[in-house]
Structure 1
Amino acid sequence: MKVKQDEDYHLRLPVTKSDTLFLYCSVVTAELLLVATGSSMVWPSPVLGKLGSNDTEINPIGRQITTVEISMLTGIPQFTSILGLLLCPKLSDIIGRKRYLFLAGVVMLISGVGLAFSKKIVYMIIMRCIFGFFGVMSVVPVYIAEICEDRNKGKFGCYTGMLHQIGHLFGFIIGPFLSVKYFTLVITAPLLIFICVFPLMPETPVYLLKHSKIQECKASLKKLRKNKNDLELELDLKKLEEHLKNEPKGKVVNLFKKREHIFGILLSLLPIMLKYCSGVTVLFTFLAPFFDSAGTNLSGDLVAIIVAVVKISFFLLTSLIVDKFGRRRMLLISSCSTAVPLCALGIYFYLHHIQSPAVEYLQWLPLTGILATVSCFGLGIGPIPTYLMTEFFPADLRTAAASIINSSGNVMIFVLTFFFPIVTEQLGTEWCVWFFSINCVAGATLIYFFLPETKGKNYSEIEKLLKR
């Protein structure tokens, strides 16, 4: 259909229309992968207690798990996911976002079922490595962004972090009440729903247009935007064509050719490393056993559920106020305030270690300290670093930059997760927590002196700051 070139007619076109039910279904279906990924991330929290039991009806491996095996079970999957983060974006460019995500869902489902029936630690490690290898956290946001319009990318993009946190809560809620096998099968169930429904969803119009599949692109747009007429869809197609025509081709090597891009990588790594070195991600992995070691009357599994709810609430709050207060300010407030309850928790664990009588009067501190830590973390260093890094790079280099930065972050997660059980056993929990507190103070100092504010600035303005 030929578009009528009439500026007056263009002005009569509706500026915005409500999002279609099919678009919501496409977004939610793709993010079922994130629910399963989030639940898998906290899988060790309720499971490690069962693997440490001598009861063979509870413990599928039939013996107590060793400290080194705990480190391998939690740390090695983090290491293998680094390869997935480096390979995934390119593979999804070759075979398509939809095909890649469907393939990832199938493999994740098979590995999840394999994990449920594993009775040896080595098999559990292998299954968890396979489950996390595809790095869907990198590709799902791309799929969602490419099926959305410019006006609603932000709204649907915020769902990504929320669904991941809901996956955490899902795992914490059901983990204490089920055996290892049935718990693993239940948190894998969203993948079965995904595999059944996702074939009905479309490939992204952007990917189809990049590969010169014009008719398929039109069909995809028509499914996603059923509330638009043919002329509006044709205009949307032309807008996509114009965008792709002007988009330069970015390569990883280009990130290291300009001074401002190198500074962009360093400044993006700063909040990402602060996020993981604050220890909250590590503590979430070991949350139930960590709290049980505090020696209070509260169940670690119950605390994990409460903490997950609080974390989701503060992630939501931050998404509502970050554009008002600014990224840099909220990162500073968050990192400084997170250091305080972590330091207090370290003092409590030290007093508990030396069997001080003061512990009897401080039974309220572990729960209060954990909730305060997660709340302060959720105000900035939890949600902000993930999307802050995209603001330091032009559109053509954002995927490549995200791969490098996320991979570096996963290296840090691997190191901290692997060594946390060992250091805790050898030196005591208090030294680990104090180390995390010191990292928060150091990170806040670096942010204060080096990280520029990006609120309200486009890339051209940010690029000028990086060139100084």
Structure 2
Amino acid sequence: MTICRRWREYVAALSATLITAAAGTTVGWTSPILPKLLADDSPIPTSKDQSSWIASFMILCSAVSPIPASYLADRIGTKKTLLLAAIPYIIGWILVMLANNIPMIYAARLIQGLGYGIAYTAAPMYLGEIASNEVRGAMATLITVMSKFGILSQYCIGPYVSMLGLASFNIAIPILFVVTFSAMPESPYYYIKSGDTNRAEMSLKHLRGRDYMNEELESMSHLVNENMKEKGRWKDLFTVGGNRKGLIILFGIYFTQQFCGSTAIISYAQQIFGAAEGGLRAEEACILFGTVQLLTSAISSQLVDRLGRKPLLIVSSCGVGLANIVIGAYFFMKFESSDLVVALKFIPIVVIPIFIFSYTIGLATVPFAITSEIFPTNIKSKATCVIQIFVALMTFAVTKLYQVIADNLGNYVAFWCFGLLSVGGVIFIIILLPETKGQSFAAIQEKLYSNETVVYEKGEDHSGSVRIL
């Protein structure tokens, strides 16, 4: 019923998150393509070290674009900023289609990283600002749902087509995004910040599907005006207690998200399944893996506003921690040539889907909901920028170091490290994360700034504004 009532918001959100589907293709692309590049009959002879750079260059470069993306979101709006993210993806896939050497692939991945950084900086902001309080969490998780769709497409198509054929499919997604998202409205918050209340009202009417929006528009205007009384500065992220607390919370959550090993498993899925020798062909196992990801992310989108952010993250972190430890034990027995391995070949096929279910139900989806709602309007773009840079650096570290650790110490060491760090994430979430389910931006900000002097004004619709004195 909620989706039926809010279908206009969901259409805008689905259109916006097509760009994260494009991001998903760049992450999942390495799983079927790296084995082709490493094969004896490779179209472009590639070493293992080069393959790890192919996997990680895109993420490394994604740390460059959040700062300009943050600036552009404030100046031209989140809609136009998201549209710009399609350009690096299109250029990158054209380079892949033309590639006949490793430097061209490196260049393609670096350019696509720019689009990745823009998309994951602007998309949470856009979704958080167009959504009603009741569905804000569910809509923010669409970022992950669409990303998993992009990843699954690579697992399903990649093993059976050439590198050129897969790139030809992938380039269609950012093009489709530009065509559909161009017809969507800009965030009403951006128009209010720009002083254009008429266009803000038109945007709200488009999103909500009704004419009488005065109460919500007034509430938005009041919140934005209060937040914008003081221009958000970069140093305010670290000197204002509420902002600093928000950053610490998100740094901890995203650190757990990355160091549970998720990106390494996604990027090297086909190689990991091949090494596991679990009974299914690596290509088939990857399709199972990607399907579990997509279905679980869709389930999570419906649970995040019902069960809450904190319970999902705790369950998720516990699940991935346990799965990592079990997978590590399996690879250790395989490394030691234990006779038990023959009888336990089912473990990777059973436990890795459990890992991905656990990961996707919370860690893969919920952080985007929290990112979209935890900061005031005057500092949100800068906070999202800093977080995306942090995530990019953590993701690069995991993606690059996994191959190094696996080659030199063994897969099991990497998985056991991921397991221990996941357990640490559970403790962090229990202690520091506040629940934000169903709360207005103002109520969330009041909770974060509880140790500071706060003026909180509440409207009849239970929305309001917060101002730090």
TM interval, short-chain normalised: 0.7 to 0.9
Tell me, yes or no, if the aligned pair for 2:125 and 2:372 is still in contact at 8 Å.
Answer: no
Structure 1 ranges of 4+ moved more than 6 A = none
Opposite residue 80 of structure 2, the aligned amino acid is R
* Greater alpha carbon shift after TM alignment, 81-90 vs 194-203: 194-203
**Contact in 1 for aligned 2:77/2:186 (Cα 8 Å):** yes
Q: Unpaired runs of 5+ in structure 2? A: 454-469
Give the deviation of 1:44 after TM superposition. Answer: 0.3
Q: Quick check: 1:95 aligned with 2:95?
A: no
Counterparts in 2 of 1:69-468, with a 5 A limit? 69-134=50-115, 135-149=118-132, 152-213=135-196, 216-217=199-200, 220=203, 223-224=206-207, 227-229=209-211, 232=212, 240-248=220-228, 249-322=231-304, 325-389=307-371, 392-453=374-435, 458-459=443-444, 460-464=446-450
User: Are the equivalent residues in 2 in contact too, given 1:272–1:386 (CA < 8 A)?
Assistant: no
Provide the C-alpha distance between the structure 2 equivalents of 1:465 and 1:140, rounded to a whole number of angstroms: 30
What are the ranges of 5 or more consecutive residues in structure 1 without an aligned counterpart? 1-15
Answer yes or no: is the 8 Å Cα contact 2:125–2:380 preserved in 1. Answer: no
Could you state the TM-score of these two structures normalised by the residue count of structure 2?
0.85
1:236 offset after TM fit, Å? 6.0
Note closer, same or farther for the CA distance 1:236–1:123 as it changes in structure 2 (3 Å cut).
Answer: same
**Mapped partners of 1:247, 1:439: distance in 2:** 36
With the length of structure 1 as denominator, give the TM-score of the two structures.
0.85
Q: Distance in 2 between matches of 1:465 and 1:251?
A: 20
What amino acid maps onto 1:173 in structure 2? C
Assess, with a 3 A threshold, how the Cα gap between structure 1 residues 295 and 392 changes in structure 2: closer, same or farther: same
- CA distance change for structure 1 residues 132 and 429 in 2, over 3 Å: closer, same or farther? same
Give the total of aligned pairs: 443
More displaced stretch, 124-133 vs 386-395:
386-395
Q: CA 1:209–1:344 in structure 2 vs 1: closer, same or farther (change >3 Å)?
A: closer
CA distance in 2, matches of 1:36, 1:260: 34
Change (3 A) 1:251 1:375: same
Amino acid at match of 2:55: T
User: Percent identity over the alignment?
Assistant: 24
2:47 aligned to 43, 58, 66, which one? 66
How far did 1:149 drift? 4.8
Please say which of residues 384-393 and 280-289 is displaced more in the overlay. 384-393
Give 1 or 2 for the bigger CA radius of gyration. Answer: 1
> Contact 1:111–1:127 at 8 Å: present in 2 too?
yes
- In the alignment, the residues of structure 1 paired with residue 215 and residue 313 of structure 2 have an alpha-carbon distance, to the nearest angstrom, of 40
Q: 1:461 to 1:191 in 2, by over 3 A?
A: closer
| Partner AA of 2:27 in structure 1 | M
Contact 1:392–1:463 at 8 Å: present in 2 too?
no
Q: Contact 2:144–2:364 (CA<8 Å) still a contact in 1?
A: no
